[in-house]
Amino acid sequence: MPRAWLAITALASALAALACRDAPAPAAPPSTRQVVDDLGRRVTVPARVERVLSLAPSTTEFVFALGAGDRLVGRSDACDFPAAAAAVPSVGTLFPPSYERILATRPDVVLMIDGNADVRRRLTGHGLPVIVVQPQTLDGILDAARRLGRLLDRQAAAEALVRDLTARRDTVTARVPAGRPRVLYEVWPDPLTSAGPATFLGDLLRVAGGRNVVTAEAGAWPRLSMERVVAADPEVVLTARADSRAAILAGERAGWSAVTAARTGRVVAVPDPDLLVRAGPRAFEGLAWLARVLHPAAFEGAP
């Protein structure tokens, strides 16, 4: 009986060893994955992104807002928020770019906006995965936060950020009254250039309760004649330049005296244009400021 038992045990051990030898090895985790950026491009990136180069202020703000600022290995000179960004080495400006400094950061991915197609092509040609992050609306910012959260394995932080930003937006829109003042955003005074409704600025104006005097057919960044401005007769004029506001109110710019906003003194210099033009997390602060300017009575006493 003991001998039979030993034989059975030996046979079982041999079969087990044979099974282990023939069993397939567990599959190795993938080393890369694909993401889709805001241009609809499928970009292959490492499965784990550890080194990030950000070439746009908005993408730098996203990375810090997601708690991944320690992964930034480089930024552009224009990336000046938050204060901690100053500790990240700069690769300089994109006008023109220093490819030597960019390549020296050895990034796993490059984040940028869709402003310089030649730079994007050159970096892609060097084998760098370039992801364009270009939200056109406030909802697009929420989507971008989630996508960057997945890219950086910061999904929980992304969802927390989305909840916070959504709550800020809802707090503002709950106070916006039905009446919408006519608004002109002066991007540049000479030639007078404005923002159309299809731009990110246009979406901010809409959500904040303004009625953009620039129509869709005028395009994204139309140049406007003074005759056209007078015909549209904005009730509120926003300008990125304090000297432009002063000149309009002082009557130093021809034609403006016929505009309601100038006659009533509702020409406002934007104190921090970055809050309105950077399509990143701080745009929701810009939304709150803009709604207060357009509807002061509705926001009187609001925290």
Q: What pLDDT, in 10s, does the model give residues 1-33?
A: 455 554 555 545 554 555 545 556 565 567 999
Query: Does residue 20 lie within any of the structural domains?
Result: no
Do 157 and 56 have their domain in common?
yes
Do 158 and 40 have their domain in common?
yes
Q: State residue 180's pLDDT score.
A: 96
Q: State residue 62's pLDDT score.
A: 98
Q: State residue 171's pLDDT score.
A: 97
pLDDT in tens, 54-65: 999 999 999 999
Q: Mean of the pLDDT values across residues 158-172?
A: 98
Query: Does residue 2 lie within any of the structural domains?
Result: no
Torsion over CA: 252, 254, 256, 258 (sign): positive
Torsion over CA: 4, 8, 11, 17 (sign): negative
Q: Mean of the pLDDT values across residues 106-134?
A: 94
Tokens standing for residue 158: 């992304």
Do 115 and 186 have their domain in common?
no
Do 98 and 187 have their domain in common?
no
Q: State residue 14's pLDDT score.
A: 52
Query: Does residue 10 lie within any of the structural domains?
Result: no
Q: State residue 120's pLDDT score.
A: 94
Do 187 and 158 have their domain in common?
no
**Distance in angstroms (rounded) separating the CA atoms of residues 139 and 301:** 27
**Distance in angstroms (rounded) separating the CA atoms of residues 288 and 208:** 7
pLDDT in tens, 179-235: 999 999 999 999 999 999 999 999 999 999 999 999 999 999 999 999 999 999 999
Do 122 and 66 have their domain in common?
yes
Q: Kindly tell me if the per-residue pLDDT of 155 is higher than 90.
A: yes
Please state the domain count of the chain: 2
Residues facing 194 on adjacent strands: 186
Q: State residue 141's pLDDT score.
A: 98
Query: Which of 169, 200, 232 is where one domain is finished?
Result: 169
Query: Does residue 25 lie within any of the structural domains?
Result: no
**Distance in angstroms (rounded) separating the CA atoms of residues 52 and 58:** 14
Q: State residue 3's pLDDT score.
A: 57
Tokens standing for residue 226: 């003074």
Do 233 and 255 have their domain in common?
yes
Q: Mean of the pLDDT values across residues 227-255?
A: 96
Q: Residue 236 belongs to what domain range? A: 179-294
Q: Kindly tell me if the per-residue pLDDT of 86 is higher than 90.
A: yes
